[in-house]
Amino acid sequence: MEPEKLNQTSDDVVKALTLQALLRLRRTSAEELQLEPLAPFITLELLHRFHEGAAPYVPHTRTIVPPEMGILELKQELNQSREQMQQAKAGWERERSRMARAEKRHADGLEQAEAARKLMRMARTVQAKAMKEAAEAREAQQRSEEDYSRAVKELEQLNSHLMSEAEECRGLWLRCLCASLISTITNYHVPMWMCMPLHAAIEKNALR
């Protein structure tokens, strides 16, 4: 291959060799992966040896580039690797989107749970207040019933006292009337048989 064409394709070959070497890592440790990039170590001498049929050793990879693999195959492998990387990136984006949605659902669930707890606390407060008001209403009703019973008893006692006093008044009024009748008979010498209807009427009126 002419040096001009070799220089023109050296960047692609370097990228291809680098990717090919990375793809074929099987026994490389994690520490070696942290070393310097492979591209600065792939020189024109290695490329000449590669095109002459030799098998160049790529530093820091422990990988031998097969001489039968040409530039087109390396480019195809590079394109395939790029597609795989794009697919992996798309899959990673989907996974990240899914994780973001899951985190959002989790956050929404936490908010809903907090709102439910607040509603539960409010409901418990309202229930306790209602129970307290119901207890106070029962106590007020009980006091009202007791006051009513006490008022009924007092009214019955007052009525009984008034009835007894009325009986005493009737008896006293009857005695006064009889005394007045006797005084009238005595003073005016009225016969007793004439006073009998009046006495009967007085007794009848007094017993009402």
How far is residue 147's CA from residue 134's CA, in Å, rounded to a whole number?
20
Higher pLDDT, 140 or 56: 140
Q: Which of 58, 43, 44, 52 is nearest to 70 (CA)?
A: 52
Higher pLDDT, 81 or 198: 81
Give the model's pLDDT for residue 176: 77
58: helix, strand or coil: strand
Give the model's pLDDT for residue 28: 46
Q: Do the Cβ atoms of 39 and 14 come closer than 8 Å?
A: yes
Give the model's pLDDT for residue 37: 47
pLDDT per residue as tens digits for the range 12-51: 555 556 555 555 543 444 444 444 444 444 444 454 444 4
pLDDT at 164 over 50: yes
Mean pLDDT of the chain: 69
Q: What percent of the chain has pLDDT over 70?
A: 50
Q: What is the pTM of this model?
A: 0.35
Give the model's pLDDT for residue 8: 44
